[in-house]
Amino acid sequence: MKIAKHILKMNRGMFLLLMVVGMQTPVKAQVNKDTTSLAYAIGNGNMNGHLRNVLMFTNNARGLNYYHADAIGGHIVYKTRAFHDFRFMVGTHFTFPVFSYNVAQADPATGAFNRYESTLFDVTRPGERKNLVLLSLLNITYQRKNAKISFGKQLLNTPFINMQDNRMQPTVVEGLYFDIQH
């Protein structure tokens, strides 16, 4: 009996100790996040991208120029979550030249410029070999059920416009684009 009373007193003491310690421990309330706010849509978007290396050689017939080039490039894209069916997207493409040979020179026999290796670099300035960074995406998209409307700089892949994946910098178009599926 004495042992049982002693355990009971000890259990009461432990209970009181736990109550005192428990009251001193701050209780964290559950915070409900507003997942419908614009701040949530922007702050909880996703970022993705890719990196690639492209090495190209053109070995022409005797008497014509040969060409080779190597470039490392890729893209980084940030896309917000939907906010009342709207999404915002921003992205950049970048290219770092590794080496190239004859890419900016016209072939003396034909007068034609290189058509493949030059697409690894800035096609508007074929002789330029500096790092190339371009703002390639800046658009807002509204998507509801089977309809999608985009406005701004965007990458399109349609029967008439494609991204020209053989280039380090894809084809970017600006404007308003509708895509409605039946």
Strand 132-144 relative to strand 147-154, pairing: antiparallel
pLDDT of 7 reads: 45
1: in domain: no
Tell me which of 6 and 181 has the higher pLDDT: 181
pLDDT digits (tens, 9 = 90+) for 104-134: 888 888 888 888 888 888 777 777 777 788 8
2: in domain: no
Percent over 90 (pLDDT), the chain: 28
Task: Indicate if the pLDDT at residue 57 is higher than 80.
Answer: yes
Task: Indicate if the pLDDT at residue 169 is higher than 90.
Answer: no
15: in domain: no
pLDDT of 49 reads: 92
Tell me which of 38 and 160 has the higher pLDDT: 38
20: in domain: no
Asked whether 163 and 178 are in contact (CB, 8 A), the reply is no
17: in domain: no
Threshold 0.85, pTM exceeds: no
**Which residue range is the domain that position 70 belongs to?**
29-180
pLDDT of 19 reads: 54
pLDDT of 12 reads: 58
Per-residue confidence band for 6, with pLDDT thresholds at 50, 70 and 90: very low
Q: Give the lowest-confidence range in 7-21, 108-122, 139-153.
A: 7-21
Q: How many domains does the chain have?
A: 1
23: in domain: no
Per-residue confidence band for 18, with pLDDT thresholds at 50, 70 and 90: low
127: in domain: yes
Average confidence (pLDDT) over 58-79: 90
47: in domain: yes
pLDDT of 105 reads: 83
